[in-house]
């Protein structure tokens, strides 16, 4: 069993009812998926047990079975990103697609030391894999000068703040800079060029107190701001920022009037929960029209859809949002 897996199982111990260590490599607690027995509160039929070098979860009441990574994703999303990051740091990357965010101790705000050693995408030759990828996604040409390429992502990150002890499997990535309103870099998101990568996106914050938000340098203060699920999506609509793999309250960063633009995935519980929270907070939110098949803004752009018009026509709030949300979920 790896040290990383053991560490995160121990962190779960205070969150799971009736948690106990039965013997080395086996833990028992009440199942968070089915709630276990409703009549007998002392019954605990959920188990973590070791299989080779990983923990797997199995409930002997509802039959649910998942690996530790997916268990964290479902029941402790705040630990999930940290878990993937630690696995990546130790060259033990597990399955998963969400962006990880390392905890880097910082007493004062910290900004990137230099960016002159990064190559802007618009300066790469036609045919370069990074440029080809972004052009295939129809990323606007004027945005390419503020996206970058690096051959060795881990090595470059370590020049900014030591983050990775293990430099094995260091691969090229597209660098998406995270900037404050003054244009200073407080972090980056690295996008893998490999379709087989377990971590397509990795978010690195140079400052612990900085928000996991992209585009703060691009918006006008005081005007409504669209909040999308990913940086690339935000490039196709005006006055937009993006969450970088985590729930963030943009109001903490001076954005008082967010308009939420989540992906078009009515079967995704995480997305429907977020939309419901936005509606409950009386925030305006985009409810995609029925019949729209593409799951995100970038896919809609690739299909030739006028995304901004659809967004403006399908932004709802209050009772209207509740009605449209109920209809959208019925797929």
Residue 324's contacts (CB-CB under 8 Å, 6 or more residues apart) are 287, 314, 316
**Closest CA relative to residue 218, chosen from 240, 190, 188, 249:** 240
pLDDT at 13: 84
Q: What pLDDT, on the 0 to 100 scale, is given for residue 116?
A: 61
Residue 120: helix, strand or coil by DSSP? strand
* Residue carrying structure tokens 């560490």: 7
- Between helix 77-89 and helix 68-75 the angle, nearest 10°, is 150
d(CA 42, CA 37): 8
pLDDT for the residue 93: 53
Q: Please identify every stretch of the chain with a pLDDT value under 50, giving residue numbers as ranges.
A: 94-108
Please give the Cα distance from 245 to 70 (Å, whole number). 16
What's the confidence (pLDDT) of residue 216?
93
CA dist 324 to 213, 228, 290, 295, Å? 28, 19, 10, 17
């Amino acid at each position: 069993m790896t040290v990383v897996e053991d560490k995160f199982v121990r962190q779960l111990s205070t969150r799971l009812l009736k948690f106990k260590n039965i013997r080395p490599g086996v833990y028992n607690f009440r199942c968070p998926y089915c709630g276990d027995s409703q009549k007998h509160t002392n019954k605990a039929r959920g188990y973590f047990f070791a299989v080779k070098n990983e923990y797997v979860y199995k409930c002997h009441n509802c039959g649910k079975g998942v690996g530790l990574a997916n268990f964290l994703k479902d029941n402790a999303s705040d630990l999930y990103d940290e878990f993937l990051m630690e696995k990546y740091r130790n060259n033990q990357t597990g399955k998963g697609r969400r962006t990880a965010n390392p905890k880097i101790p910082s007493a004062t705000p910290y900004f990137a030391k230099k960016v002159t050693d990064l190559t802007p995408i618009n300066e790469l030759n036609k045919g370069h894999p990074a440029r080809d990828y972004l052009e295939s996604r129809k990323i606007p040409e004027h945005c390419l000068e503020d996206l970058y390429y690096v051959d060795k992502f881990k090595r470059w990150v370590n020049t900014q703040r030591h983050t990775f002890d293990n430099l094995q499997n260091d691969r090229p990535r597209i660098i998406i800079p995270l900037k404050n309103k003054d244009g200073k870099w407080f972090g980056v998101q690295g996008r893998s060029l490999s379709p087989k990568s377990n971590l397509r996106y990795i978010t690195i914050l140079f400052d612990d107190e900085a928000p996991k938000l992209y585009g703060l340098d691009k918006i006008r203060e005081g005007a409504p701001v669209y909040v999308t699920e990913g940086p690339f999506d935000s490039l196709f609509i005006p006055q937009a920022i993006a969450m970088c793999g985590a729930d963030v309250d943009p109001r903490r960063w001076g954005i008082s009037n967010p308009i939420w633009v989540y992906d078009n995935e009515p079967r995704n519980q995480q997305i429907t929960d977020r939309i419901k929270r936005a509606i409950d907070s009386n925030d305006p939110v985009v409810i995609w029209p029925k019949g729209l098949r593409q799951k995100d803004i970038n896919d809609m752009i690739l299909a030739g859809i006028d995304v901004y018009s659809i967004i403006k026509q399908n932004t709802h709030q209050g009772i209207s949002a509740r009605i449209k949300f109920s209809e959208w979920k019925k797929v």
